[in-house]
Structure 1
């Protein structure tokens, strides 16, 4: 709006006010006669740019601008007009009533100066057809003033000929004052708005009435927390840190004396005697936490650090663990979790926003909690080699992995001390199991124990049968332990885009381990693996023997590639020679590749910095998996031996052997085991091996192999089916997954004893047995499959894709008996299909039970647990609900 437009609008407002007064005079009984002088007070030096003389309701009107008392007196002395009932003289002045004096005021209408109506002025400025009548109220005077100011500054849209309501007016003012879009305004957006210095300055410069009016409006929309935010914006330069501190104080228990003292000091210093409620402050604080959690800017993290300092100024640093955002809160939570090793305290750590910055530390805390659960499970003793190998593949490999984590320690002294305690306890128990294993091991030096795959029989017993029907990629990761293999396999499984399915030979869905040759070194164990014979040798021996094995299917093309044969060249990431081996052929194919990443890491100390393994950490393994997936190859991932890591071993120098074994010299200590037999491949067939990971004979390194610790002797075996192949004859889907102590799952309760058979009905001519046993009630599963809803749904499925009703009955009964959730291995056994892909089973169950996509049955825990929602089951299949 230009200055001319504004002057015109003001003059129109004056005319409107004069017209209103004249109408009232005409309506008064008897009317008036002579001259009526209307005094109008202007906010600035009076000026009149319109016609000086005019007419209102038939009465002549004269407008006179009077910038001084003298000019007012001159105007009053003007001669009256003739020929009218009365004349109206409008005196416009910026003088106040006291300056004009009583004599002048006595000659003015109503003996006072009239104000131009802000409501009329606003309507003239906006040129609207109609203004909301509510704007006339005293409570909305601030709003009209704000709108006039915006209109004068051109800050309002063109509303010519339109109605202008109060809600629209409020939206315009809020948008201008707080620089936010009222249509999408929420508490987080309001905090974002007052986090801007220019907006805060503008907010503070507003009059108290306008701030109060805008606040009341936003409280109506957003709740009392909006008042907290806007009052803080007046009292403090940076609202966000204040709210982050408030989050800590409001989350602390109300009966906490220190928290109550800090809360009182905080509230009074920020809000004075009119303190907000704890609940309102907490809502505003939570919104600020969520806002900062969603962002990752340098300013936000400066505000987080500032909040930490503010908390310390309130002498409330000890309350920081209540914050899921402050760095001191994470430290406090980690120390608490380390001290208690409790799942709830660990969850509080993992919920903290800053855990990503300390991911390795949090991982070690999680490992400590898992080891505590393992110890609480009272792990059984080891009595035989087959039992030990099975235990390692299914349980102890995870123990080894978690021990590796906690032994990395922490820079925080409280956490470090706790990690040291659990490492000592778990390590002692794990070492005792190694000693028990060593006592059972001498027999395995003479012959392979029954039911065990040995390293020299892995090719003929496992790989060759697979090669009869599938192309096989054998990946030998030199030195890969069971712990590393478990993590690598898990990383493959956790990436659904890869599409691999792990299978095992055991009907119960659990993994097995392969028995290494002795000593557990590459020269002996890897050569025995690839030559399929107990022998020591080199890579040349392996390459010569591998293609010519007589157990390969006829016409098999068997190729072995060592480290030197792998490497990108001529645009091929695996090298042209290896890449060519994946060319589809008509004859059976077995390609074996030796990868040295893990073994090399023992010398470089890679695991000393980051003990975790994923498939992408193994050089060339991702590319090999890609080739195998594209060509439909079955992958056998294995090793030649495992390894142990250095964590304070005792050095017993002996040059007769290597890092973890020596030749006999007449005796051995309790943590050593002498082995003699054809599976001991050193000259003479006798060696003394370190039985625990606490002994070494060679130079210090980051890791070792060659000894008799279970982690060295138990060779991992992971078999993967390529995408699109879900089942393998003679193999079961690996359904056991990590042990229950590792996942935190509760072990499934033992199955309930079968109900007693129903009593046979007596002949009709006999009396009923009034005191006989009641028939056993039918199970929920039995009632389910007998109900009309189930029967009709089941019949509607293709006959070749639907499970038998008895499978539904048995699975429902088993899962509900376990509390509604059960490991997939147990569910597969309940269904009578231990080798089936659990995803396929759950999908088949869901086609009948999940009516209208309601998840009655589902897979959770990355496909390791089946859940049945009993409430949804009863709603969807009401027959027989309990």
Structure 2
């Protein structure tokens, strides 16, 4: 025999497990080998047939083997007594040197050779191994050495080479190097950031490293070979950063100088290998960026990985002198900064007339293609706001012709200007001076125009304030008429929840509404636009909030508000309960008080709740650093919205007045008779108005109030109210519906794309100007203007999807109309073909109505609303959405899609294409 190989305990266990069933009572196992130093000399073995105690002796002479066997017999008694013990002797003595007297006691009556490949097969639960495993000694050695404590995973009857190496990778490199039962370059790049795993790889024997590298290169591609080479050199952490920098050395535009400079970082590498590697790195980074954007459980970790890799790439690029060559890279931070500066330069040029806004728009488009823009949310928010304001500056803005005109235009356009200004005032979150100068230029230009609009608005106020009343409001919604004209129609459908956000301005309302309608709420209005009321004068809580909550122009405190609110709702035969700050908080373990929850659960109550977070932030300085508000920033608002939704109640988010923010360039006017930060008595000065009349509830009916935002009479705070700037006097009124069935007759839904002004949208999203149409010979006498939502059938009059539904629709006005889009869908042959494959499909009229409701709601509705329309609210809206998808998603195209598990979205263009219809 050849020189005895080294064997260890695992090999012996495998041999014992294999031969023990065939031992036929023999308790001596002779093994050709040398037992590893330090190996266990005694251990237990259990097989399906039996179990025994194994004793190991390493003897390399005939006499030594005989002595070991005799000692074992003496110690364990007769052969019968040794049935549960086994002596394993590792030896270099060959078969012919033993006599038959000793071999008679040995299993198989011979010295057994160690078939290491067969041992491996056994450890994997296989009968045999791939012949290639036998030829690769590095793999056999590694599999014998690396077997985990729990053993190798069971496999089929034959252990394949790929399966063996895959299992080995899991142990040697760690689970980070494995995907879902497959290794790809993405998982290997994840592995490159695993310090423990890459350190283990670098410490492997050279033959095993080379074998794994060859296999992974063949399986995954050239990129794997380069990555593992770096890992073997202890540079795995630089693999992905080098992949970014390496883009300077590949491609058609790569210069020899760049390739030479990069070679100094990485050494010799084939161009095709580098190209595959850089492409793989960029793909993995894009995946991480998407994961970071998702907001999921791993988003924070993905974000940190991307930033760490790109920062290191920046350092390596600077070391190699390749920063300039990488200016077009979509991951390098310096390239992102360069694009930001290009944008700032183009924006400044557009403002001073040396350039066009189109250039700034193009620079913004280029900026968005950089992947770090997707992770720089706050910085990109400021960029977006700057370009939006630049668009607004390009549009002519006529002066308001009346108070009503100014309030309307503020609630539909200028509030967004103020919202963007708040963000721009804070500047670039990273403090970039180039961006700061550009933002300052935009801010000053916009503030100059906004101040002019406030001044024009102020010229209409003296006359309007003296004469405006509920009988002649001058086209305005008065603060004391909000309950009458907005809340009462809602209450006819379902008792609403009125949430008074004290001090909420139009800018804050625009921010909050955008976020809430992206979730689960539908915005509605009695007009085809967002509405706003006009505060009392001065625009302070003591005058405006009682007027709002009592439905009568009056001043007072919380007692006046609570009593007046109850009295107002008692008149229509209902009841109203108002909750202030002290009434809202619950006991330990409960966010809302029992009293408030009880009121919300009783559908006969109109519930009002006053939240002071915004006003308090202005008063105590916390508003100063804000560039926007989220629902979660307002104490108790998320809980109230959730409770209202759970009870199916509409919500009215309303303020009592707005506010202006403090700016360092503001002026404290030193005057006597100061009553508040923004109103006083006496004679008006520059930037002020003297107002009097029935709408002036304080100061004896006559006050002096500033129309300029930069005037205050008291010490500095974060913000102020009381004056008559549009941002103070305009009271935002947001109506949020949980479902379509709470929409009052004659009201309209306000999809997000109809609420924001056109300049707020990105250039690609702005609607194209209407094409000139040939003038008809005669105007149609029957043409109806696009108008408000038609009155809905009352539930107690006709069922929504009843048999007589179509007859009632035809009888309404006795008019012949073109069938709706939903009706044409269900009448089509394509739908009939889809319907044949959906057992127990909903009624055709139900499907048609849902399609039409989606179109009317801006192609997006909550799942609960859709299920409610079909009368299936209690029977699983998700399942019903799946049925609708099977009916309408022809050939798998996403006509209907479910967003976030809560919304059903309709792609109208795809619907028409798949069903062969037009939208007209």
* 1:437 and 2:457 matched: yes
- The offset of 1:837, in angstroms, is 10
Count of paired positions: 727
Q: Deviations over 1:393-447 (max 9, x none)?
A: 2222122111111111232222322222221222222222222222233332123
Number of the residue aligned with 2:537: 518
- The offset of 1:379, in angstroms, is 4.1
- The offset of 1:224, in angstroms, is 1.6
Contact 1:177 1:202 in 2 (8 A): yes
* 1:679 and 2:695 matched: yes
* 3-state secondary structure, aligned to 2:498: strand
2: CA distance, partners of 1:269 / 1:374 = 49
Q: Deviations over 1:739-776 (max 9, x none)?
A: 33323221254377489799xxxxxxxxxxxxxxxxxx
Number of the residue aligned with 2:522: 501
Contact 2:493 2:744 in 1 (8 A): no
2: CA distance, partners of 1:785 / 1:172 = 54
2: CA distance, partners of 1:793 / 1:149 = 59
* 3-state secondary structure, aligned to 1:226: helix
2: CA distance, partners of 1:791 / 1:126 = 57
Name the CA shift for 1:854/1:757 in 2 (closer, same or farther; >3 Å): farther
- Give the number of the structure whose alpha-carbon radius of gyration is greater: 1
Q: Deviations over 1:257-285 (max 9, x none)?
A: 7x864443223442326555542231242
- The offset of 1:712, in angstroms, is 0.9
Contact 2:826 2:844 in 1 (8 A): no
Number of the residue aligned with 1:877: 915
* 3-state secondary structure, aligned to 2:96: coil
Number of the residue aligned with 1:113: none
Number of the residue aligned with 1:738: 756
Number of the residue aligned with 2:241: 244
| Matching residue within 224, 230, 245 for 1:226 | 224
Number of the residue aligned with 1:487: 511
1: CA distance, partners of 2:893 / 2:606 = 46
2: CA distance, partners of 1:714 / 1:402 = 17
| Matching residue within 315, 334, 339 for 2:321 | 315
* 3-state secondary structure, aligned to 2:741: coil
2: CA distance, partners of 1:680 / 1:518 = 5
| Matching residue within 607, 615, 618 for 2:631 | 615
- The offset of 1:215, in angstroms, is 3.5
| Matching residue within 630, 651, 664 for 2:668 | 651
Name the CA shift for 1:853/1:714 in 2 (closer, same or farther; >3 Å): farther
Name the CA shift for 1:859/1:390 in 2 (closer, same or farther; >3 Å): farther
Number of the residue aligned with 1:635: 651
Contact 1:385 1:444 in 2 (8 A): yes
2: CA distance, partners of 1:251 / 1:465 = 65
Name the CA shift for 1:629/1:261 in 2 (closer, same or farther; >3 Å): same
* 3-state secondary structure, aligned to 1:692: coil
Name the CA shift for 1:650/1:397 in 2 (closer, same or farther; >3 Å): same
| Matching residue within 538, 549, 561 for 2:579 | 561
Number of the residue aligned with 1:528: 547
Name the CA shift for 1:146/1:403 in 2 (closer, same or farther; >3 Å): same
Deviates more, 1:523-532 or 1:638-647: 523-532
- The offset of 1:557, in angstroms, is 2.4
What 5-or-longer segments of structure 2 have no aligned partner? 1-6, 16-29, 35-90, 100-112, 292-297, 348-359, 779-817, 836-840, 871-880
- The offset of 1:535, in angstroms, is 3.7
2: CA distance, partners of 1:207 / 1:781 = 70
Number of the residue aligned with 1:854: 893
Name the CA shift for 1:165/1:502 in 2 (closer, same or farther; >3 Å): closer
Give 1:90-105 correspondences, 5 Å limit: none
The structure whose RCO (Cα within 8 Å, separation 6+) is larger is 1
Contact 2:249 2:262 in 1 (8 A): no
1: CA distance, partners of 2:500 / 2:919 = 54
Name the CA shift for 1:263/1:680 in 2 (closer, same or farther; >3 Å): farther
Number of the residue aligned with 1:660: 678
2: CA distance, partners of 1:678 / 1:158 = 86
1: CA distance, partners of 2:739 / 2:218 = 57
Give 1:161-176 correspondences, 5 Å limit: 167=162, 171=166
- The offset of 1:512, in angstroms, is 0.9
Name the CA shift for 1:755/1:802 in 2 (closer, same or farther; >3 Å): farther
Number of the residue aligned with 2:183: 185
Q: Deviations over 1:72-113 (max 9, x none)?
A: xxxxxxxxxxxxxxxxxxxxxxxxxxxxxxxxxxxxxxxxxx
Contact 2:493 2:743 in 1 (8 A): no
Contact 2:250 2:274 in 1 (8 A): no
* 3-state secondary structure, aligned to 2:585: coil
Contact 1:649 1:696 in 2 (8 A): yes
Name the CA shift for 1:123/1:565 in 2 (closer, same or farther; >3 Å): closer
| Matching residue within 254, 269, 272 for 2:268 | 272
Number of the residue aligned with 2:140: 147
- The offset of 1:603, in angstroms, is 1.5
TM-score normalised per structure 1? 0.69
Contact 2:650 2:737 in 1 (8 A): yes
1: CA distance, partners of 2:156 / 2:889 = 59
Contact 1:849 1:873 in 2 (8 A): no
- The offset of 1:378, in angstroms, is 4.1
* 3-state secondary structure, aligned to 2:420: helix
2: CA distance, partners of 1:290 / 1:519 = 54
1: CA distance, partners of 2:756 / 2:731 = 17
Number of the residue aligned with 1:747: 767
Give 1:191-340 correspondences, 5 Å limit: 191-193=189-191, 195=193, 200=198, 214-235=212-233, 237-250=234-247, 254=251, 261-272=257-268, 274=270, 276-286=272-282, 289=285, 305-318=311-324, 331-332=337-338, 334-340=340-346
1: CA distance, partners of 2:145 / 2:640 = 73
Q: Deviations over 1:363-403 (max 9, x none)?
A: 32332233233334444442222222222222221221111
Give 1:703-852 correspondences, 5 Å limit: 703-723=719-739, 725-735=741-751, 736-744=754-762, 745-747=765-767, 749-750=769-770, 753=773, 789=829, 792=832, 798=843, 800-801=845-846, 803=848, 850-851=889-890
